[in-house]
């Protein structure tokens, strides 16, 4: 029998109500996430990519129930998260963690790094102080820091080291699943590869699954096994990494790929470029949300929303023409 995926997300929606007037009546919704489904196997990385404002970070937070989903199902190891009560959530939280984009603002500047990393152990009542300190020292070493640095404050670390502290904290409770939300975007390019390689080493060693969120397809290509491309709250393409980078099917994926710099400046991209910004999720364009920016758009694209349909083994695309 085939093993079920570690993470199964089905029909996830997150709408933020827009309230107006004295009575704070709901006059509309920001449809940040509008029916997203995916799965992640044990030891696998799913890259979730899209421009800023497409809803990818909201997916990451909703999957961990850091914000309450409006609808949909999220399962970890077959256990439903959405309907879990407070006590069940406490147990489930040990299995799933998050690493944020900006390690400076996500780490309390007044707390020593060792205490930051050890805090989840304390909150979950793991071991005594001595055992927790030993575990934190081990975690520091595992992420490439010296145990002596446990006494340093966040400002005494470089950006890359601070992200290592965040990763050590995320690992403290031996999770199975980590949401990495733009974890290298705030770092120098030279440091980005080191942090990505650390995440990949940890995955090999600990069998971790990642939802790796990024606006940068080049970074996603390096770490992901499969990739989901998101546009205005919906997944528009879902494929194995190799297939997606060899031949993007959705015009939006094509455009994202065209924006990735080539290693040799003499080479030129012949692929599609699109102009303009992502439209507002308060009032998304009718039909295919991408039609105002799509050079291939036809009359029906403005009326009819394309469904995400299977176009090959494990590959899906939401476009009338592909």
Q: Which residue has the tokens 């199902």?
A: 73
Q: Does 117 bind ligand SF4 (CB under 6 A)?
A: no
User: What is the DSSP code string of 39-79?
Assistant: EE-TT-EEEEE--TTSSHHHHHHHHTTSS--SEEEEEETTE
> Whose Cβ is closer to ligand SF4: residue 179's or residue 217's?
217
What's the number of CA atoms in the CB half-sphere (13 Å) around residue 314? 14
Q: Which stretch binds ligand SF4 (CB under 6 A): 158-166, 210-218, 265-273, 294-302?
A: 294-302
Using the rule CB under 6 A, give the single segment among 9-17, 162-170, 184-192, 291-299 that binds ligand SF4.
291-299
Per DSSP, the three-state class of 164 is helix
Binding segment (CB under 6 A) for ligand SF4, from list 199-207, 208-216, 269-277, 284-292:
284-292
One character per residue 192-231, x = contact with ligand SF4 (rule: CB under 6 A): ----------------------------------------
Q: Which of 55, 120, 251, 284 binds ligand SF4 (CB under 6 A)?
A: 251
Question: Please, which residue, 79 or 300, has the CB nearer to ligand SF4?
Answer: 300
Query: Binder to ligand SF4 among 291, 299, 307, 308 (CB under 6 A)?
Result: 291
Of positions 195, 238, 306, 308, contacts ligand SF4 by CB under 6 A: 306
Under rule CB under 6 A, residue 153 binds ligand SF4? no
Nearer to ligand SF4, 60 or 281 (CB): 281
Which of 180/308 has CB closer to ligand SF4?
308
Question: In terms of CB distance, is 131 or 310 closer to ligand SF4?
Answer: 310
Closer by beta carbon to ligand SF4, 175 or else 284: 284
Rounded (5°) CA angle 125-127-133: 110
**Is residue 150 within 8 Å of residue 140, measured between CB atoms?**
yes
Rule CB under 6 A: say whether 288 interacts with ligand SF4.
Answer: yes
Residue in 33, 294, 308, 316 binding ligand SF4, rule: CB under 6 A:
294
What b/e string do you get for 215-227 counting C-beta neighbours within 10 Å, with b at 16 or more?
bbbebbbbbbbbb
Extended strands (E) in 70-123:
71-76, 79-80, 96-99
Task: State phi, psi for 301 to the nearest 5 degrees.
Answer: -60, -25
Per CB under 6 A, does 42 bind ligand SF4?
no
Decide whether 243 or 297 has the Cβ nearer to ligand SF4.
Answer: 297
Q: Closer CB to ligand SF4, residue 60 or residue 306?
A: 306
How many DSSP H helices and E strands does the chain contain?
10, 12
Q: Does residue 321 bind ligand SF4 (CB under 6 A)?
A: yes
Cα 243 to its chain centre, rounded Å, is 20
CA 99 to chain centre: 9
- Which H/E stretch holds residue 190? helix 189-206
In degrees, to the nearest 5, what angle opens at C-alpha 271 toward C-alphas 267 and 272?
140
Region binding ligand SF4 by CB under 6 A among candidate stretches 43-51, 218-226, 256-264, 287-295: 287-295
Minimum distance of ligand SF4 from residue 48's CB (angstroms): 19
Between CA 282 and CA 207 the distance in angstroms is: 39
> In this structure, which long-range contacts are made by residues 307-310, counting pairs with CB atoms below 8 Å and at least 24 apart in sequence?
308/234, 308/235, 308/236, 308/238
Instruction: Enumerate binding residues for ligand SF4 (CB under 6 A).
Output: 251, 288, 290-291, 294, 296-298, 301, 306, 319-321
């Amino acid at each position: 029998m085939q093993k079920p995926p570690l993470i199964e997300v089905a029909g996830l929606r997150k709408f933020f109500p827009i309230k107006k007037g004295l009575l704070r009546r709901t006059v509309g919704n920001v449809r940040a996430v509008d029916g997203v489904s995916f799965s992640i196997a044990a030891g696998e990385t799913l890259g979730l990519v899209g421009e800023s404002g497409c809803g990818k970070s909201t997916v990451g937070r909703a999957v961990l129930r850091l914000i309450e989903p409006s609808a949909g199902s999220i399962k970890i190891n077959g256990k439903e998260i959405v309907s879990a009560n407070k006590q069940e959530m406490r147990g489930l939280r040990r299995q799933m963690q998050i690493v944020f984009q900006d390690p400076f603002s996500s780490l309390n500047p007044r707390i020593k790094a060792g205490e930051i990393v050890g805090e989840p152990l304390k909150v979950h009542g793991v071991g005594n102080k001595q055992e927790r300190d030993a575990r934190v020292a081990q975690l520091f070493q595992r992420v490439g820091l010296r145990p002596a640095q446990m006494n340093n404050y966040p400002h005494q670390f470089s950006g890359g080291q601070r992200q290592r502290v965040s990763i050590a904290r995320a690992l403290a409770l031996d999770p199975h699943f980590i949401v990495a939300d733009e974890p290298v975007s705030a770092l120098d390019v030279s440091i980005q590869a080191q942090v990505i390689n650390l995440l990949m080493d940890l995955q090999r060693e600990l069998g971790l699954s990642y939802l790796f969120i990024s606006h940068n397809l080049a970074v996603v290509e390096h770490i992901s096994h499969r990739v989901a491309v998101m546009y205005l709250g919906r997944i528009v393409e879902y494929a194995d990494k190799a297939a997606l980078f060899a031949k993007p099917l959705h015009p939006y994926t094509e455009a994202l790929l065209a924006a990735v710099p080539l290693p040799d400046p003499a080479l030129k991209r012949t692929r599609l470029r699109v102009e303009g910004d992502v439209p507002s999720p308060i009032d998304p364009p009718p039909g295919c949300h991408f039609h105002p920016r799509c050079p291939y758009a036809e009359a029906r694209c403005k009326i009819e929303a394309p469904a995400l349909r299977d176009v090959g083994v494990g590959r899906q695309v939401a476009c009338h023409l592909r």
